[in-house]
Amino acid sequence: MLLWVSLLVLAPVSGQFATEPKSVIFLHSPWTTVFQGENVTLTCKIFHLDASEKIKWYRWYLLEKTQSETSGNTHEVHESGDYRCQAQDSPLSNRVGLLFSPANLILQAPLDVFEEESVILRCRAKANTVLKTIKLYKNEKVLEDHTVEIPVGMLTDFHIHQASLKDNGKYHCTGVKEDDQLVSSNSVKIEVQELFPRPVLKASSTQPTEGGAVTLTCETQLSPQRPDVQLQFHFFRDRRSLGSGWGSSPEFWIHTIWRENSGSYWCQAQSMNPSVQKQSQRLQIQVKKVVPDIRIYPRPELVFEGQELVLICSVNGVPGPITVSWYRKFKLRTERKLHTSSKTEFKIPVVQNSHDGEYYCVASNSRSSFRSDPVTINVKVPVSQPVLTLSPPGTWTFVGDEVSFDCEAQRGSLPIWYQFFHEGVLLMKIEATLWRTMSYRFFLTEEHSGNYYCAADNGLGLQSSETLRLSVTIPVSRPILTLRTPGAQAVVGDMVELHCKAWRGSPPILYQFYHEDASLESSSSPSGKGASFNLLLTAEHSGNYFCEANNGQGFQRSNTVSLSVRVPVSQPVLTLRAPGAQAVVGDMVELHCEAWRGSPPILYQFYHEDASLESSSSPSGKGASFNLLLTAEHSGNYFCEANNGQGFQRSNTVSLSVRVPVSQPVLTLRASRAQTVVGDMIELHCEAQRGSPPILYQFYHKDVAVGNSSAPLGGGASFNLSLTTNHSGNYSCKADNGLGVQQSEVMLLSVIVPVSRPILTLRAPRAQAVVGDVVELHCEAQRGSPPILYQFYHKNVTLESSMSHYGQGVSLNLSLTANHSGTYSCEADNGLGPQCSEAVTLSITGLTESRSGPVATGVTGGLLSMMGLAAIALLFYCWLPRKAGRKPTFDSSRNQSASDPQEPTYHNVPSWIELQPVYSNVNPNRGDVVYSEVRTVKVENKQAAASDPKLLKNTDSCVIYSQVKGAYTAAPKPQLLAASTPHR
């Protein structure tokens, strides 16, 4: 049995649905449940293709996934689980569940059951199992009972004929052995599936237009598990079968549909084996009536005699094929058929006047004919050039006469529009529908002189007549006198034109010019354009002017025109008036500008460095003033301009220097780093943001002057210091430019001292450090600005770090173990660079209860010998300076008192070890070398010594440590010294 497990893509193809190529698994045999030990062969294929390349197989069992690969498309399996395969690049197949059962009885069933199929349920017993009876159950109810004896290894089949939904349920079988023992099989769930759903009928249009085409499609979806099943289709309208009956195509084409084809459409789909038939719901299709649109168009729309005329018949909404007939109507209501063709165009190559009339077209198909509305064709004839005539004839007339202009076009289609023009201005427009001549009558006035013409137009092009001149004799009107100057105002030296013109009056006209009733000049104008007279202006030409015009029919006098001749301004003078010899911020300064010549009013404009300040008008010619309350920005160059409309004049430039008192200066300390250090070079910069130079700057340290500097051009002044510790303190500066002294804010300068090389001291309770002792490591730098960070190292490994905020050293206590042997060092750092001490070696031995015996004696003798040598060296060292009259080089002030409560107290120590060693380091590169000391006190009472620090005695100890200052060239190794020997 073939199990198709493909995912379908819902795209209809031949009434079914196309599948995306997907891997499919075949089972041989067809059962998904078999006995353990049996094998099932799986075959992987792509839909309708054989998969010959490598196949990937996947198995899921109890959430565990395994993967394998075969070179062929078969795979033999014997384990339960869900299986999928993938052939080539196709998607994975659907899962197929296999059960390899260990039971004595199994029920085998196909994976998929479809409607109308015959189904076999097989109840199968193991080879060594003999059953007397077998029963089949559906939903726990007995369906069939086989009471005959079942042979060993045989099987029993149960049949379901033409499966339907009523056969859905859960099935299993049971059997009874010879010993009456009941055995039961696995359960199988049967779900009967549709082979294909009820079809759906679709139409390309449910409201088609009459004469159009419609496509019907019967759509359904065949089950993916039965892709080899073929479907057939049948289409119906109402109760009538369409076409030839059943066919394999899901589509039915109606090539031409008419209104009588409206109705209810439906389809049927059926499979042959098994035989399943299903019917779609009904689909209503309403065919719309054709609304024909028949129109006729002429090309071109405006038809001229001699052109080609094309008539176009536009046909819409008439199903074809069609034929077109052309008709012409005459004025006596008669008509004639011109042409019939399948084409929608009719041509008249050369149009004549005889082609005037109405035209229409008729479109016909096999069922009916449709007629267009008529279109009227008027063949147009352009007008000829019209002729303009004057009645009564002549060119010279007088005011009050009646005249008539006649315009006629000899040729052209009516109606014709005539237009009459005077000097290009339209006078009248009139339409001629019956006659070709039109007239324009009027009574003459003085304005009617001039050129006349007429135009004719019938829509085919405008034609104009020749021009006709008409002259009317007119008395002169009152003339107008015009004074034409080069500018808005007349200025001395300008050339002024006096022009006199009478707007009405027949030429020639005589013009006479006057100034204050004094005749100047006369001139005759034969053309009527007026007359002119030129004057080169002086100051005396100011006054009243008029003119007279005369053409022999009486003179006319113009109105009086006044002429004012203006005098340009001279160069102005700018004066600055200040309250003192020097202008200072806050002073009030007056700027005065005056031009000695020029026609008033005069506009004065003041400027500062080309920037406009203020303007003032002087109507009397006495100049103008402007006041400034001075600020620092008012320094610079000033000038003024004078202008009375005849051109501006600029004064000479006047400089103003405004002195500005210094502002409070700002003191800035410029250093190469954030914290100043001894030896650094710093710059003290003092600068006043405002103040006229030169400025004298003075620098102060704790109110004591340390230097001064002058800044002749501004920008401040600087003073350099090479720092020592004495330079710490408050600094300030002063600025003075002669207008008052200003002092800056006080600035604090802190000079930081780098740390010197620290000294590491080991303070132990005995000469030889023993496991269990407490040793104090003390690290101290003699110089350096606090805070100082100290770090202790053992064999270059950091032990502990501590911060000293007051310049003192720090200590670290160690309870000794054997691991504490080795070299120790410390480091000091106050942010200006770390300094490391010399290394100190600490040797540790184990401590035993008994120190007597030969070993102790030998050690004691050795130590006493060393102590004796150290005592001699110490006495010799102390004796040398005394003999020379100098004090010992060690500083007794650094020797702590024996009763110092900070010193450790030790007891129960033999007398030969009372003198304790000193562990220290020596700095050969520094001038100050400091050494520490360790004291021991012999106490009889252990409890008293431990409880009372005052019991410490110094009778058996010698102060052997001091501070030595001086150069040291070589760093000695740490050594054990005798108590009586100074450590230098």
Three-state SS string over 114-131 comes to ECCCCEEEEEEECCCCCE
Tokens of residue 67, six digits: 């993967």
* Sequence-ordered list of residues with C-beta below 8 angstroms from that of 582, at least 6 positions apart, any chain: 657, 659
Tokens 């950091």 belong to 798
Tokens of residue 223, six digits: 């089950």
Strand pairing partners for 265? 237, 283
Angle at 99 between CA 97 and CA 103, to 5 degrees: 160
Residue type, 143: L
Q: How far apart are CA 854 and CA 912, in angstroms?
A: 15
Residue 462 vs residues 301, 410, 421, 427, 558: alpha-carbon distances, Å: 19, 14, 14, 17, 45
Q: How far apart are CA 721 and CA 566, in angstroms?
A: 74
Give one DSSP letter per residue of 170-222, joined into a string: EEEEEEEETT--EEE---EEE-EEPSSPPPEEEES-SSPBTT--EEEEEE---
Tokens of residue 27, six digits: 């089972």
**Predicted pLDDT at 33:** 92
Pick from 810, 757, 803: which is nearest to 784 by CA? 757
Task: Check if the beta carbon of residue 749 is closer than 8 Å to that of residue 667.
Answer: no
Q: How far apart are CA 5 and CA 41, in angstroms?
A: 16
Q: How far apart are CA 969 and CA 923, in angstroms?
A: 9
Tokens of residue 204, six digits: 């390309």
Give the number of C-alpha atoms closer than 13 A to the C-alpha of residue 774, restricted to the C-beta side: 7
Q: How far apart are CA 81 and CA 59, in angstroms?
A: 6
Angle at 113 between CA 108 and CA 116, to 5 degrees: 125
Tokens 């110094």 belong to 954
Residue 976 vs residues 865, 980, 982: alpha-carbon distances, Å: 13, 12, 12
Pick from 376, 360, 290: which is nearest to 325 by CA? 360
Residue-wise pLDDT for 850-886, tens only, equals: 333 333 333 334 434 444 444 444 444 444 444 334 3
β-strand 119-125 against 155-160: which pairing, if any? Answer: antiparallel
Pick from 653, 712, 723, 664: which is nearest to 689 by CA? 664
Residue 930 vs residues 778, 809, 880, 895, 961: alpha-carbon distances, Å: 12, 12, 21, 11, 9
Phi, psi of 884 (to 5 degrees): -85, 0
Q: How far is CA 204 from the centre of its chain?
A: 49
Residue type, 398: F
Give one DSSP letter per residue of 274-340, joined into a string: TTEEEEPPPEEE-PBPP--EEEEEEESSSEETTS-EEEEEEEES--SS-EEEEEEE-TTS-EEEEEE
Tokens of residue 82, six digits: 């869900």
Task: Check if the beta carbon of residue 237 is closer than 8 Å to that of residue 261.
Answer: yes
Give one DSSP letter per residue of 212-257, joined into a string: --EEEEEE----TT-TT--EEEEEEETTEEEEEEEES-SEEEESS-
Give one DSSP letter per residue of 820-878, joined into a string: G-EEEEEEEESSS--EEPPPEEE-EE---S---SHHHHHHHHHHHHHHHHHHHHHHHHH
**Predicted pLDDT at 395:** 60
* Torsion angle, alpha carbons of 703, 707, 710, 711, to 10: -80
Long-range contacts of 35-38 (CB under 8 A, 24+ apart): 35/100, 35/101, 35/102, 35/106, 35/124, 35/126, 36/78, 36/100, 36/101, 36/102, 37/78, 37/100, 38/78, 38/100
Q: What 3-state DSSP class applies to 882?
A: helix
* Sequence-ordered list of residues with C-beta below 8 angstroms from that of 943, at least 6 positions apart, any chain: none
**Predicted pLDDT at 296:** 92
Residue-wise pLDDT for 392-451, tens only, equals: 876 666 777 888 999 999 888 888 999 999 999 999 999 998 888 899 998 888 788 889
Angle at 682 between CA 677 and CA 686, to 5 degrees: 140
β-strand 490-491 against 565-566: which pairing, if any? Answer: parallel
- Return the DSSP state at 547: E
Tokens of residue 375, six digits: 């279109």
Tokens 């359960």 belong to 187
Burial class of residue 832 in the structure, from the number of CB atoms within 10 Å of its CB (0-12 exposed, 13-18 middle, 19+ buried): middle
- Return the DSSP state at 447: G
Angle at 612 between CA 607 and CA 616, to 5 degrees: 85
Long-range contacts of 393-396 (CB under 8 A, 24+ apart): 395/469, 395/470, 395/471, 396/471, 396/473
**Predicted pLDDT at 77:** 93
Long-range contacts of 647-652 (CB under 8 A, 24+ apart): 647/568, 647/569, 648/569, 648/605, 649/568, 649/569, 649/570, 649/571, 649/572, 649/595, 650/571, 650/572, 651/571, 651/572, 651/573, 651/574, 651/593, 652/573, 652/574
Tokens 């006041």 belong to 627
Q: How far apart are CA 201 and CA 209, in angstroms?
A: 20
Question: In 365-448, at which residue ranges do the beta strands (DSSP E only) sit?
Answer: 369-371, 375-377, 379-380, 387-391, 396-398, 402-408, 416-422, 425-432, 437-443
**Predicted pLDDT at 830:** 87
Burial class of residue 483 in the structure, from the number of CB atoms within 10 Å of its CB (0-12 exposed, 13-18 middle, 19+ buried): middle
* Sequence-ordered list of residues with C-beta below 8 angstroms from that of 758, at least 6 positions apart, any chain: 779, 780, 781, 790, 809, 826, 827, 828, 835, 836, 837
Tokens of residue 228, six digits: 């080899």
Question: In 619-722, at which residue ranges do the beta strands (DSSP E only) sit?
Answer: 624-629, 636-643, 648-650, 654-656, 658-659, 666-670, 676-677, 681-687, 695-701, 704-711, 717-722
**Predicted pLDDT at 698:** 94
Task: Check if the beta carbon of residue 956 is closer than 8 Å to that of residue 907.
Answer: no
Other Cβ atoms within 10 Å of 612 Cβ, number? 10
pLDDT less than 70: residues of the chain: 1-21, 47-52, 146-154, 332, 394-397, 847-984
Tokens of residue 844, six digits: 């540790």
Pick from 288, 210, 316, 318: which is nearest to 254 by CA? 210
Residue 486 vs residues 492, 531, 646, 671: alpha-carbon distances, Å: 11, 19, 11, 73
